[in-house]
Amino acid sequence: MQRIRLRYAKRGPLRFTSHRDFARAFERALRRAAVPIAYSQGFTPHPKISYASAAPTGVGSEAEYLEIGLQAAADPEQLRVALDAALSPGLDILEAVIAPEGGGSLADRIDASRWRLELPEVEPVTAKEAVAAFLDAPEVLVERMTKQGRRTFDARAAVNNCAVTGEADLPSGAVGVPCAIIDLVVRQVTPAVRPDDVLSGLRVVAGLEPPVPPRVTRLAQGTLTAQGEIVDPLDADRGDVGIGGR
């Protein structure tokens, strides 16, 4: 069985696609593209698809990952093009590489994510003050409803970096409206700390509450280095073939 690893994006209105919705759309795309997908054994065979750390519903992403098993070998770039064409615009297959034998799982290569948080109608100086208060706090307790019920946890401990990097360019109709940009790097912990948890933490420590919903995009995920950089989980698999993008 050949294993192919894919990087895909959720853009524009398609960021509101849930993980379950994407999984259904992806399985339909496999059929439309006539991909020789492998299936599990048993009474109810399932296509061999393994997802890695899917982004929350409503969040855009440039760095989502999955792995598929194939019954027959395929050219990864041709596979990428075919699957991309079979999916709706906004669900974009950016890259496909062959997973080597013995290379471990995608999940083993992901322990952190980088996010871009755009806060419309928030002045950058106000955001900087809130971020400074958040980083100075020994812990920032927030609440979130989980499958196990409402839980309280520390949103500060998982944050490796949080900084206001500038001001976003808004549409021409919003001239003069500020929009602070926060660059956020969060380590994977249990329970998972999401960007909305950090935003809740900014509200807790500094009263920062954007008047309109923030726009959140995952820019990268992978292994966090000692220098604070994130190594793409496909880096170890890339070769002379199988690299694509859009």
**Helix runs in 33-114, H state only:** 76-86
Q: Express each pLDDT in 97-128 by its tens digit.
A: 999 887 788 889 999 999 999 999 999 999 99
Q: Express each pLDDT in 2-27 by its tens digit.
A: 999 999 999 999 999 999 999 999 99
Structure tokens at 231: 């190594």
- pLDDT of res. 167: 72
Q: Express each pLDDT in 25-63 by its tens digit.
A: 999 999 999 999 999 988 888 999 999 988 999 999 999
Structure tokens at 37: 């997908």
Contact in structure between 161 and 219 (CB atoms under 8 Å) = no
The model's pTM is: 0.89
**Complete domains list, the chain, with CATH:** 2-106 (3.30.70.580), 110-230 (3.30.70)
In angstroms, the CA 58 to CA 112 distance is 19
Q: Express each pLDDT in 231-242 by its tens digit.
A: 999 998 885 333
- Neighbouring C-alpha atoms within 13 Å toward the C-beta of 192: 13
- pLDDT of res. 244: 39
Average pLDDT, the chain: 91
Q: Helix count (H) and strand count (E) of the chain?
A: 4, 11
Contact in structure between 60 and 217 (CB atoms under 8 Å) = yes
What confidence tier does 146 reach under pLDDT thresholds 50, 70, 90? confident
- Which of 140, 180, 132, 183 has the alpha carbon at shortest distance from 158? 140
